[in-house]
Chain A
Amino acid sequence: KQEVTQIPAALSVPEGENLVLNCSFTDSAIYNLQWFRQDPGKGLTSLLLIQSSQREQTSGRLNASLDKSSGRSTLYIAASQPGDSATYLCAVRRMDSSYKLIFGSGTRLLVRP
């Protein structure tokens, strides 16, 4: 059974700091891995999607890496801003049921002005 874990559960940093969010998964047979952002009371917004054959994806100040063999992904946020405050969720799709997303519990990020 695929399990996804995210650490830390919560993180508070001053504005401008670079930070790393971690995601680990127990079964390396994944189709892809995706990072989402969730604002309070809102749905999920997709940030980055990494296919199983890829090592990383970048979008603006965000960079996500994938190491399938170790079952790990990291989301790097450069020069954090108060507007980055949200919950960040990672989700994997298994090879045998690629339509189903399996989520971690998320990291709640607070960027202090």
Chain B
Amino acid sequence: DADVTQTPRNRITKTGKRIMLECSQTKGHDRMYWYRQDPGLGLRLIYYSFDVKDINKGEISDGYSVSRQAQAKFSLSLESAIPNQTALYFCATSEGNQETQYFGPGTRLLVL
């Protein structure tokens, strides 16, 4: 079984809809992250969490919110999706700041 899982793997939604992407991990790591990847732009950090009571904005948090429901779960929400949020979204975990990050398989989101 994969250590970091993301659901759904693919999603098509319409402008204005609320959507939630979920991430679960079995690695026992305290730190979790959400990134988005657009063609030619590499990965950009959206939000990150160092433990259950900690939420921090990343480079591009506008239009997104997150919830750290438990050590193992970190959800990303788009309250009102817009087409320029069409991207590949990755969740990652790490044990510490400079420790290796382990990435999930990604969620491909298309906003029409």
A and B associate? no
